[in-house]
Chain A
Amino acid sequence: MVKRFLYLNGLAIIAVVLYHASAWGFIAMFWWTDRYRQTQVPDFSQMGGGSYYALRAIEQGIIFGIPAFLFVSGFFVAFATKRSQVTVSWQVIITRLRSLIIPFILWSALILVGDMLQGSRLTLSQIFTTVLTGHVVPPFYFIPLLIQLYLIAPFLVPLARSRWKLLLVATAIIQLGVLILRYVEILNLANGILKPYYFLSRGVLFPGNIFWFSLGIVFGFHLTEFKLALDRVKSILLIILLIFFVLGIFEWEYLLLASGEQWIGPKETLIDHIYAGFFIFSFLAFEKLNPILSEQLATLGSRSYGIYLVHFPVQEYTARLIYHVLPGLLAYQFLYQSLLIGMALIVPLIMMGLVNRSPARRYYEFVFGK
């Protein structure tokens, strides 16, 4: 089963790339419509059409990406704790953080320089805050989030070992609280009374994802028990997974309607998180079923951090290039998506390959992480 974690990581990075490609898809559909037809933007006339639901289905199906990354990271923490140790050592945590932070700072700086060359003006304190909160590009929130989770890992490990059920229940309640707050925000349920607390539901803060990380740690310490339990219920897991996939599609349509807005930015909901959990469990439960292209999945999985750091700017520049040079392509989501996804996977892999074959190879870890 452990080898499947590498495949899961490979699937997770594909999921993240697809998720952001679909976001560019919605931008082309609603905000760049005037580039391929006579209209005023935003133009929401394509909402409810085939392309819209295809993008929504993709967005829904791959919502497991970040939970899967956190789950695998949690598993590593369990692995990195010696049998004789009470908890994971700070030395392991610090070296892990170093390999996360250096490439993150480097790519944040490069992207900010690119933005500044295009006219963006930020003060030093704004730069500092933007980088620190992972706001340089939307996906970067994940790195400060992971850093926070690694920092609390030494406190989670003793519980994951001895009182794992309590840990899972407690972290699930914390995460549930954040997700409920997110519903309150989307639907404006409390007439703005809770507005000062909405920041707590931001993805960059650890309470919103603490369960996935803790689950990974617990899974690592109690692997045999989980394996047996998952094997017994694997068919049921798959059925529930499909149910929550459909529920997720309907839920989002309902939230959009109930919010009174024409469009709301993507936010992970409780249904999304349940779906993500069943996806992870289902994938691990079918241990003997090797995914198609498993070698390639393992390769992507092992290079996931580098792809994660580079894919978004590549997608952004590809989308903007298409907007200016080939605007007609924006109307054809299949082609547009294929280009965005292909470029976001291939360009980082080429860059990693080039660095790996150059004298700069010794600095690979600092550029793309491990």
Chain B
Amino acid sequence: MDRKSHLIDFIKNEIMHNSKANLDPDTDLLGAGILDSLGVLQLVAFIEKSFHISVPDEDVMYDNFMSINTLINYLQQYG
């Protein structure tokens, strides 16, 4: 499974608690109320654990975590 599918699965199952939810990769995760303070922290922990990427604190910002696609773009720098 690629990163994008992994992220979508995690957000649907652990944050939205609805595996059948429709989650467009361009949906604004905060604006749509999908991510809250704990959701962001859970997502950072998930990325670090699952992709073995240490996300620098300075990079934990709306602009990087706005949607699945912006997050994937951000993570691309880690190969």
Contacts and interface: CB of A to CB of B under 8 A. Distances in A.
The answer to whether A and B come from one shared complex is: yes
Interface of A: 1-3, 5-6, 9, 72-73, 75-76, 79-83, 89, 91-92, 95-96, 98-99, 223-224, 227, 298, 301-302, 304-305, 356, 361-362, 364-365, 369-370
B57 A6 contact: no
Contacts, number: 85
Given A76-B36, A224-B58, A361-B17, A9 B31 contact: no
A6 B15 contact: no
Nearest to B56: A2
A interface SS class: helix
A15 B79 CA distance: 40
Contacts of B41: 2-3, 5-6, 9, 72, 301-302
B38 A79 contact: no
A12 to B, nearest CB: 11
A99 B33 CA distance: 8
A298 B45 CA distance: 9
Given A298-B45, A302-B42, A365-B17, A2 B60 contact: yes
14 contacts: A6-B38, A73-B37, A75-B37, A82-B62, A83-B61, A92-B31, A95-B32, A96-B33, A302-B41, A305-B38, A356-B17, A362-B17, A362-B18, A370-B38
A367 to B, nearest CB: 10
B55 A2 contact: yes
A71 to B, nearest CB: 10
